[in-house]
Amino acid sequence: MLEFLLFMLFSVLESCALFFLAFKIFKIDLYEKEIIFASIIMGGFSYVLRNNYNLPEVDVLLQYLLVFCFFWLLFRIQVFYATIMTAMAYQAFLLIQSVLYLLMKMSGIYELQYPILSFGTYLLQFISSILTLCIGYYIGTKRKGSDFVPDKPDGSINISGRDKIMFILTLPSPFFTLFMLFSAKHLFEFFSLIPIFYAVLLFGYLYLSNKKDLDKHDY
C-alpha cells in the first residue's frame, strides 16, 4: 500500500509539473483541477502497466498519448497545436530529467535504496519535478513564453511553414523517450546522447517559436 501511495504521489507530481511547464511556455491559463485530474489518471495507468504487467515501454508511449489527448480533449487545444505542445513539454521535461539521471547515476545516488527500495527513482522524480515547476514559474513570472498557440478550439488556424517544421520536430519525440528508457537499462554508455538530442530539438522549437512570435507582433 505504501509503495502504491508513493508511486502515485510522485507520478502525479511529475505529470502536474509537465502540464504546468507546458501552459507557462505557451502563456495559457492554468486549469488546476483538470491538471490534477489528468495527472491522477496518468498515474493510475502507469502503476498498472509498470507494476502489474511489467510493461514500462507501453507505459511510456501511453503516457505520451494521454498527455496529447488531455491537451486536445480536456484543455481544448486544437489538435495540431496539441501535438506541438505535447512534444515540446516532454522534451523540456525529459531534458531536465535525463541530465539529473546522468548526474545521479554517475554519483551513485540513484542506486540508493534506503529507506525504501525505489528511493533513487522517487528522488529523481521529486527533484526533476521541483526544478520543472521552478522553471515554469520563472517563465510565467518573466513572461518568457510564446503566445502563438490559440487556446480556443473553434478558431481558425493558419499553418505556416514554421508550423510545419515544428510539427516535424515532434515526430522523433516518442522514439527518443523510448530510447531514453532503453539506454538507461541496457546502454548507459550512450545515455549521455539523450540530453543532447533533447537540447537540439528543444533549441529548434524555441528558435522557431521565437521567430513566429516576432512575425506575429510585427504584423
More reliable by pLDDT, 151 or 107: 107
What is the residue range of 195's domain? 2-218
**Which of 15-24, 146-155, 182-191, 201-210 bottoms out in mean pLDDT, i.e. has the lowest?**
146-155
* pLDDT at residue 217, rounded to an integer: 52
pLDDT tops 50 at residue 204: yes
- pLDDT band at 149, cuts 50/70/90? confident
- The string of pLDDT tens digits covering residues 101-136 is 999 998 888 877 666 567 888 999 999 999 999 999
Query: CA torsion, points 12, 67, 81, 16, in degrees to nearest 10?
Result: 0
Per-residue pLDDT tens digits for 175-184: 888 888 888 8
What is the percentage of the chain residues whose pLDDT exceeds 90? 56
Q: How many independent structural domains does the chain possess?
A: 1
